[in-house]
Amino acid sequence: MLQLIHYPHPTLRITSKPLARVDDSLRDLIEQMFEIMYEHRGVGLAANQVNLPLRLFIANPTGEKDSGEELVFLNPVIQKASGTIEADEGCLSLPGLHGTVKRNKTVQVNAYSMDGKEINLKVDGFLARIIQHEIDHLDGVLFIDRMFDQGAILADEIARFEARFDKQREEGQIPDDSKLDQQRQTWLDKYCR
């Protein structure tokens, strides 16, 4: 069973590896990711947010299970980006935290679907923001890295997440770094070679 991980879990800071194959168990993992995303009221979720080191993310801008379109992007790449726009963002890896982030207004993204079809999309608005946020995740970048001018409050919140993570690790709820490396390598061996 996949589980949501929170900042500062090390898997949130890795660069995800491109997928070399798709199989039924990957389909099952993606279904689980949608369940987790809806359960936590999210609109997008990158694989490394559930401790998978794979280059994929899912999205549904409506955030509702039975509405909108469920999007899956495998090996996504932003090919062009233009304009800038600021808006409020949050992230399931840092629940409760919000802040203003500057993003490109329009992006052109290339990716593959689960059935191997190439996707070329030019989008703006909310979906463009989601795509940039999720591709950042796949590169180990978090929205807090792009938040400015929110100094003291942000530092306090981040310290709280770090303290909670340290406690969970002491209690054995989160494996040590070498065990996490091992877990990630197992996924890479399965999907990225």
Q: Is 58 in the site for Ni ion (CB under 5 A)?
A: no
70 noted as active-site residue = no
Of 86, 134, 162, 170, the active-site residue reads 134
Does 91 help bind Ni ion (rule: CB under 5 A)?
yes
Cα distance between residue 16 and residue 65, in whole Å: 26
Report the C-alpha gap between 148 and 40 in whole angstroms: 26
Bridge partners of 118, per DSSP, are: 112
First to last CA, the chain: 23
- 22 or 50: CB nearest Ni ion: 50
Interface segment toward Ni ion; rule CB under 5 A; list 5-13, 86-94, 117-125, 178-186? 86-94
Q: Does 138 bind Ni ion (CB under 5 A)?
A: no
In the complex, least distance from residue 37 CB atom to Ni ion, rounded to whole angstroms: 10
- The first and second tokens of residue 158, run together, are 């981040």
Q: Which two tokens stand for residue 9?
A: 């879990």
Q: Which amino acid is at 146?
A: R
Q: How far is the CB of 89 from Ni ion (least distance, A)?
A: 8
* Contacts with Ni ion, residue ranges (CB under 5 A): 91
Catalytic center residues:
134
